[in-house]
Amino acid sequence: MTGMTAAPSPASAADRPRLGLRERKKIKTREAIRAATYALIEEQGYDATTIDQIADRAEVSPSTVFRYFPTKEDIVLTDEYDPLILEELRARPADEPWTDSIRYVTQRAVQAGVEEDIKVSRLRSRLVAEVPAVRSRMLESMSVTGRMICQAIAERTGRAPGELEVRVYAMALIGGLMEATLYWAEHGHQDGYAALVDRTLDVLEHGLAGEKR
């Protein structure tokens, strides 16, 4: 959801025999493409890295790269945690203030992403900060998550999910989290990402003047 969350981990030993050879190959290809992309970007930068080079190193054809990822930016950014996040949001106790629920779930997503692979998280945030196309794509993907958040807020507050106020709050949240990510990258990842997210949520809840909770 934050875009910093990691891609799903490779199939664990338990379910590997469950999957057919076809499925396993697909996962392998996906990861080969991503690994090749990360490596090339660190060597030469984002713009200088072409799809053809990625295909070469991943040992697939360029067509295959596009079959797996709709755009070059998606190779870097794609994660598939959104549905899990919504589920977790729904699982929060009904009497918990909804802002706390959002805080909890956001923090969990961040933790999961950073724990999965801190190096990838850093590379991603760096690219988000430095490459406009990547930043745009991330905002777009976060907006989708925003719609989900509208749903969750609506359920908790009894408002309509399409109501302007709800949508504005959700999108403000997205914007704030994006800025936190930028801040993290621009300051060389010195601060803890989780702490930055916490401060971000404070601003959203209490405004700029508001005391820290």
Partner DNA sequence: GCCTGAAATGAGAGTAGCTCTCAAAACATG
Partner DNA sequence: CATGTTTTGAGAGCTACTCTCATTTCAGGC
Does residue 29 touch DNA according to CB under 7 A? yes
The tokens describing 109, both together, are: 């997503």
**SS3 state at 182:** helix
Could you tell me if 69 and 60 are in contact, meaning their C-beta atoms sit under 8 angstroms apart? Answer: no
140 is a site residue for its own copies (CB under 8 A): yes
* Number of Cβ atoms within 10 Å of the Cβ of 200: 21
What residues between 187 and 206 interact with its own copies by CB under 8 A? 196, 199-200, 202-206
Give the binding range for DNA (CB under 7 A) out of 19-27, 35-43, 138-146, 195-203.
19-27
The entry of DNA, its own copies, none near residue 84 (CB within 5 to 8 angstroms by kind) is none
Candidate ranges 32-40, 107-115, 116-124, 180-188; the one touching its own copies (CB under 8 A): 180-188
Binding-site member from 33, 75, 127, 170 for its own copies (CB under 8 A): 170
Query: Which tokens belong to 34?
Result: 């991503």
**Gap between the Cα atoms of 98 and 92, Å rounded:** 9
Contact flag: residue 67 with its own copies (CB under 8 A): no
The answer to whether residues 103 and 203 touch, using CB atoms and an 8 Å cutoff, is: no
Could you say which of its own copies, DNA, none residue 79 binds, taking C-beta under 5 to 8 angstroms by partner kind?
Answer: none
The verdict on 171 binding DNA (CB under 7 A) reads: no
Give the integer Cα–Cα distance in Å for 205 and 15.
Answer: 42
Region 61-80 residues binding DNA, contact defined as CB under 7 A: 61-64, 66-68, 70-73
- Does residue 213 touch its own copies according to CB under 8 A? no
Residues 17, 29: Cα–Cα separation, whole Å:
18
Query: How many residues make contact with its own copies (CB under 8 A)?
Result: 37
Q: Which of the choices its own copies, DNA, none does residue 66 contact, using the CB cut-off of 5 to 8 A by kind?
A: DNA
1: exposed, middle or buried (C-beta count within 10 Å: 0-12, 13-18, 19+)? Answer: buried
DSSP state of 191: S
Torsion region of 59: left, alpha or beta (phi above 0 gives left; psi -120 to 50 gives alpha): left
Residues contributing to the site for DNA (CB under 7 A): 20-23, 25-26, 29, 49-52, 59-64, 66-68, 70-73
Residues contributing to the site for its own copies (CB under 8 A): 132, 135-137, 139-140, 153, 157, 164-176, 178-180, 182-183, 196, 199-200, 202-209
